Structure 1
Amino acid sequence: MAGTAAALLVEGLVKRYKGGITALDGVDLRVEPGEVFAILGPNGAGKSTLINIVAQITTATAGAVAVFGTALQQDPLATKRLVGITPQEIALDPFFTVREVLVNHAGYYGFRDASAHVERLLERLGLAEHAHKRTRQLSGGMKRRLTVAKSLVHQPPLIILDEPTAGVDVALRRDLWAFVSELHQEGVTVILTTHYLEEAQALAGRVAIINHGRVVRCAPMSQLLNSFGGRRAAIQWQGGVAKPAQLPVGMQWDVAGEALSGTVDEQALPQLLAWAAEHGHGVRDLRLEPPRLEDVYLQLTAEG
């Protein structure tokens, strides 16, 4: 296979189920070592199938997968040791304590004494004070943290986080974002799937958008935002001041809120600012937001 230096190399991956359902239709992806890479797509796009093939839960119909140059089909055990996966669904033995879950899972990968690394994970993920508890006693957020720790206990160079912050509160989400950033700084390759597009935009350097089993776009985050996303603009109008006769290009009038809002291309920003200066007597507030991944995502999945 070409490009064996990739952390994850997927070539021509196809998965067909009985009944003629095609979940993946020739997917090509290359994830470089040490990057944070987001895989996005609507429900049923094929993301979970792709992850399940890498995790060796599902067998591909055609195509090839390699992890750090090791072909999954040729040496499945070696590739399994290189990958840690945090599944979307939480499945923990309710009768083991938090520490026992991690120690036992490390044992599956041949670690006879992983206690030092287990203690580091417990501290880093805020689980140390809960280490003695059985998993059935944990809150949903703590179970999510434990699932992340479990995927890291064998110290894999590649970790796949499948909806890691689904159903957790804002504080925990921010904590996990910070933890992912730490992993990235340590050189761990992180693949993230999420429906929180703000999360992907904050963490990922590159993103692949999958729809109907195909990659519709794969590019650096900044390139995607600059190519497809416009800036959101909002101009709040002074109460009692008449609606302007002529509106800037791309802006619409909100009667109820007495405001103008819309999406403005980068090239149109000077005209918008000049218009606002000219109508300064009527403008109470002007806000510009950078391009959002959500807008890019909706555009590309609609096209797909």
Structure 2
Amino acid sequence: GGFRGGRPGGGAGGGGGGFRGGDRPSGGFGGGGGFGGGANRGSFGDRQANNGANLRSIKWTSGDLTPFEKNFYKPSEQIMALSETDFNAYLAKLEITLKGREIPRPCITFGDCGLPDYILEETVKQGFTKPTAIQAQGMPIAMTGRDMVGIAQTGSGKTLAYVAPALVHIQHQETVHRGDGPIALILAPTRELAQQIQQVANDFGQRTNTNNTCVFGGAPKGPQIRDLERGAEIVIATPGRLIDFLERGITNLRRCTYLVLDEADRMLDMGFEPQIRKIM
């Protein structure tokens, strides 16, 4: 699923699935059938295939892993008091369709999600009056550390749906030191989307000591390298540039316990499947 609330399973790090920025139907992880679906990568995808060839799988059992917590969701009394009928009516009102087991109930207000005051105050400042469908259901799932795939239309506020829980997750982890990799990794297909995500992270994380950086191709590497070497709790990246830095040892994903693939289907359609597999 799209939020990864656990230790990466292999490769350079990471795990998880994605948030899709669109509403077209999918038959698996991102489009088509299964991981990557039937996307026609073409020559662009073929050129991307060798990126990450020098990455080595991490033997997670060979070293000490930093302990981490991942379940921070405490549903409000209002949510707990909802009858099954009211609960189903609320899902229908927001047109939320769920598939899975023991899924947390959606929040009705941002206060129901168990978010800290600095995030709640920023939602008011940003003009959010109540959670959208993806926020109402996505935040509780992410706050419990569960994996999910969230499908929502563009403009539905999906970025906040994973950035706010990411900030909560980070605040409950050990401090990131120089040379450590990020705690939260957000992959995006384009520079423009990566920068938009960073703006949301800046807005909602400005009252914390959370550092973030944005790494993407087509820009000088020097400033990006300096940010990574200083240590950033959140890294927002395009797959190609991230793999370049992983191969060179500029950063690592040993501390990564929260992973998002934003517009996962688009990344697969663009031929990024080999890179995503290597990162994860």
| Larger RCO, structures 1/2 (Cα 8 Å, 6+ apart) | 2
Higher strand share: 1
TM over 0.5: no
Greater radius of gyration (CA): 1
